[in-house]
Amino acid sequence: MIKKKTVSITVLLFVLNGLILTCGFFYLLKQNILSVRTVAENQTEENLRVFGNSLVQIVSEHLDEKNEEKNIDGFLKKFNFTDSTGLYSSNSLAKDFRITLVASDGKVIGDSEADEISVLENHKERKEILAALSGKEGKAIRKSTVSNDNVMYYALPIQTKNGIYALRLSVPLSMAVYFSTSSKKQIIETMCTVFVIILLLTFIVSAYIVHQIKKLEILSGEYKKGNFDAKSTVRSPAELRKLGNRMEIMATEVQRLEQVRKDFVSNVSHELKTPVTSITGFTETLLDGAIDDRPTAIHFLQIINAQSIRLMAIIEDLLTLSRLEKDNKKPETMKHDVVAATKQVCERFMSKAELKKIKLLCSVDVGKNDKVCCMLNEGLFDEALGNLIDNAIKYCPENTEVDCKIKLFAERNLVQISVEDNGQGIPNEFRERIFERFYRIDKGRSRDMGGTGLGLSIAAHIIKAHDGKLYVTDRLDKKNGACFVIELPVIKQ
């Protein structure tokens, strides 16, 4: 299989930037030259019009006074006369203009430059002459048959006693100030200089950006090796700096999740190994002869039974947790009164609390509302809240209280169900991790209480599936103990 070669981002950026800038440069150069040409044409047309209007009066008076056309050619040539010093005489009004006078039949009767007007062709079909002979001003731009230059022709009508004439002035566009060869050359040189500067700056900026991207590539390589302590050194541009910061955050999260995974594997191994070891050990003891001692056998079998129940509870909780994590879809819910559902869970734990001489309270603060309805899966909600109340009873000393409070926040469209106990509380440094699977603050004490280490994790997943939140905080009255808070969205009545 042939491996396809990939183009590096450096080459790609340089080539793309070069192509874009080059295309843009030639487009702008073309537009600038066209704009200059337009300005030159407008300037030349205005000059011809102004000078032509001045000549119309002069030529018209000459034709009327002399009443003849034969001397008009010599009269026009005076406008192109230069003295011996090379300077134009006082009669020279047109330094660069060519002046032509055309009769109504299209015949040229005077020209400031032609030595012999008789050889000039008839001009009646010329666009600008047709316009002038019809009493209007006419303009045309075309290549000269003599010089092959682009020439502007401007013709004006002259009305005399003998009829109408066309006075035409012409000048090469290259003679215009804004369209001269030197002007075009200067424009091209300036734009080329600017283009080279912009191209160099673009390459420098591109090289800098590529260098920062390579820094991020090196950083990702460090993370791939497992060096999650590596930090981004990218400071600009802002987008790449933010990307580097996000990579650091992701690396920290990956490192945390890796630690959670290791802890989980270690904890689940220990949690499963403990009852299995007990069951195996007592079973071997019974097989070795202890079964013949009835009191001892009954005691060992009771231990085996208790450890089997514990093992089954762990497996069931793991299956429940796995199901909650695996199913991304929401659980089936119905409209339920959360006050009634909470009271029902509290009643279920009353007897267990009484055995430990703990007073289990259920206080309600929902204003004038008879019901506070939420979309609940009643079984899952019962399990989540039951886990919190069960933990509170387990970790509270005798002759204390566990208070389950329900409070409505109508303006925020949510209800809080909090469970407060009088236990040792949860230190701040452990509050983020207590909802992890098998995580225990005091591992020995927790196991003595008979828990599986999965209750809080299951509760957190259930509440999250109900679009709610579960978190732990200090008691509002500042007494010793923990306060677990469930927040659920309320259905508007």
Check which CATH number belongs to the domain holding 345 and give it: 3.30.565.10
> What is the average per-residue pLDDT within 232-243?
85
Q: Is the Cα torsion angle 344, 470, 437, 451 positive or negative in sign? A: negative
One domain for residues 323 and 404: no
Quote the tokens at residue 237.
């541009």
Task: State percent of the chain over pLDDT 70.
Answer: 83
Quote the tokens at residue 42.
């407008």
E strand or H helix at 210, and its extent? helix 181-225
What is the rounded distance in angstroms from the CA atom of residue 123 to the CA atom of residue 138? 13
Domain stops at, among 328, 356, 377: 328
One domain for residues 140 and 27: yes
Number of Cβ atoms within 10 Å of the Cβ of 157? 17
Tell me the H-state helices in 67-116.
72-77
Q: Note the pLDDT tens digit of each residue in 166-188.
A: 999 988 877 765 555 666 677 77
| Residue at 197 is within a domain | no
Measuring CA to CA, which residue among 305, 344, 49 is closest to residue 170? Answer: 49
8 Å CB contact between 488 and 424: no
Measuring CA to CA, which residue among 364, 404, 341, 368 is closest to residue 493? Answer: 368
One domain for residues 44 and 23: yes
> What is the average per-residue pLDDT within 358-364?
90
- Distance from chain centroid for Cα 488: 33
> What is the average per-residue pLDDT within 230-256?
85
**pTM (2 decimals)?**
0.48
Task: State percent of the chain over pLDDT 90.
Answer: 9
Q: Note the pLDDT tens digit of each residue in 441-466.
A: 665 555 555 556 677 888 888 888 88
- Answer yes or no: is pLDDT of 391 > 80: yes
DSSP per residue, 261-276: HHHHHHHHHHHHHHHH
Q: Which residues contact 340 (CB under 8 A, 6 or more apart)?
A: 371
What CATH number has the domain bearing residue 273?
A: 1.10.287.130
Residue 113 identity: E
Quote the tokens at residue 418.
């909090």
| Residue at 202 is within a domain | no
> What is the average per-residue pLDDT within 299-324?
76
Quote the tokens at residue 484.
């677990």
Q: Is the Cα torsion angle 71, 75, 76, 81 positive or negative in sign? A: positive
Name the domain count of the chain.
3
8 Å CB contact between 407 and 415: yes
pLDDT at 156: 93
| Residue at 212 is within a domain | no
pLDDT at 83: 42
Measuring CA to CA, which residue among 114, 212, 201, 97 is closest to residue 156? Answer: 97
Q: Is the Cα torsion angle 468, 403, 441, 445 positive or negative in sign? A: negative
Domain stops at, among 183, 216, 248: 183
- DSSP 8-state code for residue 117: G
- Answer yes or no: is pLDDT of 20 > 60: yes
> Predicted confidence band at 305 (pLDDT cuts at 50, 70, 90)?
confident
The mean of the pLDDT values for the chain is: 80
One domain for residues 339 and 324: no
- Answer yes or no: is pLDDT of 157 > 90: yes
Q: Are strands 359-365 and 401-409 parallel, antiparallel or unpaired?
A: parallel
One domain for residues 296 and 439: no
Worst-scoring range by mean pLDDT, 17-31, 321-335, 437-451? Answer: 437-451
One domain for residues 176 and 279: no
- Answer yes or no: is pLDDT of 352 > 80: yes
One domain for residues 344 and 411: yes
- Answer yes or no: is pLDDT of 92 > 50: no
- Answer yes or no: is pLDDT of 419 > 80: yes
One domain for residues 396 and 452: yes
Range of the domain at 153: 9-183
Q: How many CA atoms lie within 13 A of 299 on its CB side?
A: 7
pLDDT at 329: 64
Q: Burial letters for 71-92: b for 16+ Cβ neighbours within 10 Å, e otherwise?
A: ebbebbbebbeeeeeeeeeeee
One domain for residues 142 and 166: yes
Q: Which residues contact 276 (CB under 8 A, 6 or more apart)?
A: 307, 311
Q: How many CA atoms lie within 13 A of 128 on its CB side?
A: 22
Q: What is the CA radius of gyration of the chain?
A: 50
| Residue at 4 is within a domain | no
One domain for residues 356 and 311: no
> Predicted confidence band at 87 (pLDDT cuts at 50, 70, 90)?
very low
| Residue at 216 is within a domain | no
Q: Is the Cα torsion angle 274, 275, 278, 279 positive or negative in sign? A: negative
Domain stops at, among 183, 217, 240: 183
pLDDT at 302: 84
What CATH number has the domain bearing residue 122?
A: 3.30.450.20
Strand partners for 152: 141, 171
| Residue at 145 is within a domain | yes
- Distance from chain centroid for Cα 417: 40
One domain for residues 379 and 480: yes
| Residue at 242 is within a domain | yes
| Residue at 356 is within a domain | yes
One domain for residues 170 and 237: no
8 Å CB contact between 315 and 268: no
